[in-house]
Amino acid sequence: MVLSFSTMARLTPVGLTRGMREIFVAGGTGKTGRRVAERLTARGWRVRAGSRSGQTPFDWDDSETWAPALLGADAAYLAYAPDLAFPGAAEAIGGVSEVAVRYGVRRLVLLSGRGEEEVLPAEEAVRESGAEWTIMRASWFNQNFSEHFLLDPVLQGEIAFPAGDVAEPFIDAGDLADVAVAALTEDRHVGELYELTGPRLLTFADAAAEISRAAGRPICYLPTSGEQYEAALAPHIGADYATLLTKLFTKVLDGRNAHVTDGVQKALGRQPRDFADFAREAAATGIWAPERNLP
φ and ψ of 261, to 5 deg: -120, 175
Distance CA 67, CA 239 (A): 33
- Tell me, yes or no, whether 155 lies in a domain: yes
Distance CA 30, CA 37 (A): 10
Domain of 108 in residue numbering reads as 21-286
- Tell me, yes or no, whether 292 lies in a domain: no
Measure Cα distances from 294 to 6, 123, 155, 184, 291 in Å. Answer: 51, 43, 9, 42, 5
One pLDDT digit (tens) per residue for the chain, 295 residues: 444 434 443 443 333 334 447 999 999 999 999 999 999 999 999 999 999 988 899 999 999 999 999 999 999 999 999 899 999 999 999 999 999 999 999 999 999 999 999 999 999 999 999 999 999 999 999 999 999 899 999 999 999 999 999 999 999 999 999 999 999 999 999 999 999 999 999 999 999 999 999 999 999 999 999 999 999 999 999 999 999 999 999 999 999 999 999 999 999 999 999 999 999 999 999 999 977 655 5
Report whether 61 contacts 26 (CB < 8 A).
no
Neighbours of 118 (CB within 10 A): 16
Domain count of the chain?
1
- Tell me, yes or no, whether 196 lies in a domain: yes
- Tell me, yes or no, whether 293 lies in a domain: no
- Tell me, yes or no, whether 294 lies in a domain: no
- Tell me, yes or no, whether 11 lies in a domain: no
Q: Which pLDDT belongs to residue 295? A: 54
- Tell me, yes or no, whether 14 lies in a domain: no
Q: Which pLDDT belongs to residue 290? A: 79
235: domain CATH number is 3.40.50.720
Q: Which pLDDT belongs to residue 7? A: 42
